[in-house]
Amino acid sequence: MAEHVYDPYEIESRWQRVWAQERTWEVSNEHDARGSDGNAYVLEMLPYPSGEPHIGHLKCYALGDAIAHFNRRLGRRVLHPMGYDAFGLPAENHAIKTGEHPRDSTAASIASFQRQFRSWGISIDWSRELATHEPSYYRWTQWIFLQLFRAGLAYRKEAAVKWCPHDQTVLANEQVDADGRCERCGHLVEVRQLEQWFLRITDFAERLLNDLDEIDWPANVKTMQRNWIGRSEGAEVTFRCDELGIDYPVFTTRPDTLFGATFFVMAPEHPDVLRLVEGTEHEHEVQEYVNTALNETNEERGNAEKPKTGVALGRTVTNPVNGEQIPMFVADYVLMEYGTGAIMAVPAHDERDHAFATAFGLPIRRVIEPAGGSDAADAGELPYTGDGVLVNCGQEFDGMANRDALGEIVAWLDTEGKGHASVNYKLRDWLISRQRYWGAPIPIVNCERCGTVPVPDEQLPVELPDIEDYTPKGRSPLAAAEQWVNTTCPECGGQARRETDTMDTFVDSSWYFLRYCDPHNDSAAWDPEALREWMPVDQYIGGVEHAILHLMYARFFCKALADLGHLDFQEPFAALFTQGMVTKDGAKMSKSRGNVVSPASIVERVGADTARCYILFVGPPDQDADWSDAGVEGVHRFLSRLWRLAAETAERTGAAGEQFDVSPAMEGEDLALLRKTHWAIDKVGGDLRRFAFNTAIAAVMELLNDCSRLRDAVEDETMRFALASAASLLFPFAPHVCADIYERLTGARVWEADWPHAEEELLETDAYELVCQVNGKLRDRVQAAAGAGPDELKELCKLAPNVQAHLDGKEIVKEIVVPGKLVNLVVR
RNA sequence: GCCCGGGUGGCGGAACGGUAGACGCAAUCGACUUAAAAUCGAUGGCCUGACGGCAUAUGUGGGUUCGACUCCCACCCCGGGCACCA
């Protein structure tokens, strides 16, 4: 007998050649007889090509590929494409350092990603490959921008924006972390007043919130998006400054506490603050305070722990519910970006207002008492933010439950014209302009005569010019490309200058999944027919770190494009799976820690099948997993044993086709192995449907263990069936070795085979081990016939020797029978 | 502070309210080998030479139940998200 040695290198390269030559994973957009019900769009988030793929990529694509394969085997046509999020800062920073054009370094990275994805055997439709930095792609990114611009959803305004002094560019709110640092480089972010481009995502806040109910996403991701959108119901209430005759609306979620408002606070950025004190004794002090406040970093300003500061404006406003004059202040704890930039302060029932009132000696008036008694009304209990009964609110409202009063007070304000119900969101408009080179140019021309003019569609793409110096100097490096900047106005033909900012790369990645459906279309971003064939994505897969940014922006794009008639669906990703991180020795992998595991070295040592199986076997894929080289060896041993036993068996049986001479009429070990095989078929199918890849692989391991144990005890045909089934079931995880085994045993191609079917009658057994409990404790096990009734089972249990020992002299007070499982006798 | 996850052997992890620890790793012993590696087999709390038996056990404390890793209440620890959003 020839010696059989598992050689992953030979097996993997051979099958990869087959798939590449035959373009096995390509799908067309043509409807086939099955119609679009038989389609599945399986998509992993596209990688940012920097250096080489890391273990996180391996996990993501191994996971997605398993789902893609499983869907194909269930008879669906599967769209499983790949592309690259190729614009971005790392390539540009590299260019600043070395002078290498970002296009060149990006191309090198992409080549490396392509090589590795192929070496992993991921079943990608390479005919649809794209990269966001190609003019043929960003032409349509620009087109989408102009669609939004014409619809009033893209606009330019001067605003206080987050500026990263290191990257020399502005950042979206979402790109600044909790400490007020740049998400990318970690530098403290500053605030600058600049004219910038924004997308009106806030118009979609309500729909972005409500439609979360329609999609099958992890609860934590939905929660994160809900928190980020931050919807609050309340009221807008007008406070009038009688001296100057100006109305100041405020937003509050607690109009029920209006009678407790004892002062009024404006944000330092509020445009009226200086006007209110102009020419008064307060002017100087206020001006100084505002200056100091505006120079604070996000980090300082955002710290809720720091003592409250502020200064009086020397003016008052009128509380609309009781006519009281309450003093006005400016304080940095009030934010300009939320609500109206001014608040009514209710120190008795708000912690921040309470802290401010205490620091400044301002009156604190309780207007809500906890239900259950007024003895609790001592000052030590304030601020009180819970519910209760109104007090000090005038005859009309006193004694009312605050939740009821809330509506009544708003209704009253409304009739008086002093306020109305209102909703506020934390979500801000999306700032998309970047003063950087390596991004899609914003397709706008600034003409002195015509103003802001969109570049006509037929002149797209506005191509990125080559430049000498990538160094950011507070303006876009593109501004130095004089020839490119100076142009003519598309409307009047006069002298004009191009917009020199580029777009945030999240714009590029907010629609790439649409382009995959029709990637070579050069007359439109997509053909609506193509989208109808594939969209929405049936299963999206990626890291939870994109829970807010990418996943919110992509949803926004779809809603906006649907409103403009370009799409006929609202949500891009019907189902989402977020994978956990891969760590080494319990820590995130990083160069500085020196604990990086490179997929290339693993694949070289043990093969892609082992690497892919291991990363899915190590634990539930949505949880973090710690990389263990010893664990990899274990999986490698498993695949070796499987392949060797299959090769030996095939040597005896030959590739004897996909029909197996096995039947439930078999006996003894043959029947046992047949049953085990059907058990595995049932188990793996169920596990795949719930993303329990670790237990699915474990089930095939169990099957192989039985095969090994019974290798000399069963007929060749039984063994051939068991091993071919094992290969068939494991194929989504270890495609090369399983294709090889399946071909050796059957002569057929496993990826063309239907997913195996578990026979109902082989999942049942005619006898089982009945668990016998006394007082809930396991005391014995006996064989019971499958069809045995409750009485029969009780008798069996009582006869079990060790049960008798525990029944000795005691009275049975209750008997629980779970047919097929156990009998529990309760004794006293 | 608020909102999510998660605490199970030496380790990663299994377990519709029903045999806790599947599967894998590590360890120990044995077979094969001149030897090692690889491979194959066995073992895994305590008592017993063994047959067998016994108890303990899923972060802590209560509760529901014939029966709880699983459900309920309170608490502790770890990870993540949000956080002066009125």
Q: How far is the CA of A767 from the C1' of B11 (A)?
A: 37
Cα A507 → chain centroid: 16
CB atoms within 10 A of CB A605: 14
Q: Which of A256, A239, A259 is nearest to A329 (CA)?
A: A239
Q: Which of A584, A583, A596, A629 lies closest to A610, judged by CA? A: A629
Q: How far is the CA of A212 from the C1' of B5 (A)?
A: 20
C1'-nearest nucleotide to the CA of A805: B53
What does the pLDDT read at residue A289?
93
The predicted pLDDT at position A249 comes to 96
* Sequence-ordered list of residues with C-beta below 8 angstroms from that of A232, at least 6 positions apart, any chain: A251, A253, A423, A424, A425, A426
Q: Nearest nucleotide (C1') to the CA of residue A704?
A: B23
Provide DSSP, A357-391.
Answer: HHHHT------EE-TT-STT--GGG-S--S--EE-
pTM of the model: 0.92
The count of other CB atoms within 10 Å of the CB of residue A47 is 22
Question: How many other CB atoms are found less than 10 A from the CB of residue A244?
Answer: 11
Four-point Cα dihedral A127, A128, A132, A134, nearest 10: 40
- Helix boundaries (H) for A383-430: 394-397, 402-416
Sign of CA dihedral A217, A221, A223, A228: negative
Task: Say which DSSP state A809 is in.
Answer: T
| A824: nt with nearest C1' to CA | B66
Which residue's structure tokens are 């160069």?
A591
Give me the CA A197–C1' B72 separation in Å, rounded.
53
CB A263 within 8 A of CB A254: no
How far is residue A58 CA from its own chain's centroid?
18
Q: What angle do CA A572, A690, A684 make, to 5 degrees?
A: 130
Give phi and psi for A736, each to the nearest 5. Answer: -70, -55
Q: What is the pLDDT of residue A780?
A: 81
Expressed in percent and rounded to 5, the helix, strand and coil fractions of chain A are 40, 20, 40
pLDDT of residue A178: 64
pLDDT of residue A378: 42
Say how far apart CA A158 and CA A627 lie, in whole Å. Answer: 48
Q: Do the bridges between strand A767-774 and strand A822-827 make them parallel or antiparallel, or are there none, so unpaired?
A: parallel
Residue type for A448, please? Answer: E
CA angle A606, A608, A609 (to 5 degrees): 90
Q: Which nucleotide is nearest to A254 (CA to C1')?
A: B86
From the CA of A584, how many Å to the C1' of B79?
A: 16
For B14, nearest residue by CA–C1' is: A695
Query: Of the candidates A572, A701, A598, which has an alpha carbon nearest to the alpha carbon of residue A56?
Result: A598
- Residue A18 phi/psi, 5-degree rounding, is -60, -50
Q: What DSSP element (H or E) covers A793?
A: helix A790-799
Residue A482: CB atoms within 10 Å? 9
DSSP string over A300-344: HHH-TTSPP--EEEEEEEE-TTT--EEEEEE-TTS-SSSTTSEEE
Nucleotide nearest to A777 (CA to C1'): B67
The neighbour count for residue A411, using CB atoms within 10 Å, is 13
Q: Which residue is closest to B82 in terms of CA–C1' distance?
A: A227
Give A539's strand partners.
A42
Residues of chain A with pLDDT under 50: 1, 33-36, 374-380
Helix (H/G/I), strand (E/B), else coil: A818: strand
DSSP labels for A48-84?
Answer: --SSS--HHHHHHHHHHHHHHHHHHHTT-EEE---EE
Q: Are A348 and A272 in contact (CB under 8 A)?
A: no
Question: Which nucleotide is nearest to A305 if distance is taken from CA to C1'?
Answer: B84
The pLDDT assigned to A217 comes to 92
Q: What's the CA A774/C1' B46 distance, rounded, in angstroms?
A: 22
Q: Can you name the residues that pair with A40 across neighbouring β-strands?
A: A78
d(C-alpha A524, C-alpha A344), whole Å: 52
User: A612 with A120: CB under 8 angstroms?
Assistant: yes
Cβ distance A283 to A333 under 8 Å? no
Instruction: Give the distance, in angstroms, between residue A813 CA and nucleotide B66 C1'.
Output: 10
Element (H, E) at A130: strand A130-131
From A729, A732, A667, A733, select the one nearest A704 (Cα to Cα): A729
In this structure, what are the phi and psi dihedrals at residue A135, rounded to the nearest 5 degrees?
A: -55, -30
Instruction: Please give the nucleotide, over all strands, whose C1' is closest to the CA of residue A338.
Output: B85
Distance B29 C1' – A724 CA (angstroms): 35
Q: Whole-angstrom Cα distance, residue A148 to residue A200? A: 9
Rounded distance in angstroms from the CA atom of residue A705 to the C1' atom of nucleotide B35: 30
**Positions of chain B reached by protein Cβ under 7 A:** 3-5, 12-16, 18-20, 22-26, 38-41, 52-54, 66-68, 79-86
DSSP-assigned letter for residue A253: S
Query: Smallest CA–C1' separation from A633: which nucleotide?
Result: B25
3-state secondary structure A86-109: CCCHHHHHHHHHHCCCHHHHHHHH
Q: Which of A390, A422, A374 is nearest to A259 (CA)?
A: A390
CA distance A738 to A725: 10
Query: A695 CA, B21 C1': separation in Å?
Result: 14
A635, closest nucleotide (Cα–C1') = B24
What's the distance, Cα to Cα, between the start and end of chain A in Å? 65
**Are the beta carbons of A537 and A567 closer than 8 angstroms?**
no
Q: Which residue is nearest to nucleotide B41 (CA to C1')?
A: A709
Report the nearest residue to nucleotide B26, CA vs C1': A630
Which protein residue's Cα is closest to nucleotide B67 at C1'?
A: A776
| Nearest residue for B24, CA–C1' | A634
**Cβ(A827)–Cβ(A774) below 8 Å:** yes
Å from the A602 CA to the B3 C1': 39
Residue nearest to nucleotide B81 (CA to C1'): A224
According to DSSP, the residues that pair with A341 across neighbouring strands are none
| Separation in Å: B14 C1' and A478 CA | 58
Q: Are A320 and A416 in contact (CB under 8 A)?
A: yes
Q: Tell me the pairing of strands A39-44 and A767-774.
A: unpaired
Q: Are strands A263-266 and A325-330 parallel, antiparallel or unpaired?
A: parallel
φ and ψ at A798, to 5 degrees?
-65, -25
**Can you give the length of chain A in residues?**
828
Q: Are A150 and A144 in contact (CB under 8 A)?
A: no
Determine how many CB atoms are found less than 10 A away from the CB of residue A279.
7
Helix (H) or strand (E) holding A163: strand A154-164
- Separation in Å: B8 C1' and A725 CA: 33
Tell me which residue of A504, A434, A430, A432 sits closest to A474, measured CA to CA.
A434
Measured CA A11 to C1' B42 distance, in angstroms: 34
Structure confidence at residue A562 (pLDDT): 97
d(CA A59, CA A84): 17
- The C-alpha atoms of residue A676 and residue A710 are separated, in whole angstroms, by 12
The nucleotide closest to A775 (CA, C1' atoms): B66
Q: Is the peptide bond before A383 cis (omega within 30 degrees of 0)?
A: yes
* CA neighbor of A620 nearest in space, from A695, A732, A545: A695
Query: CA A783 → C1' B54, Å?
Result: 24
pLDDT at A179: 67
Closest nucleotide (C1' vs CA) to A690 is B16
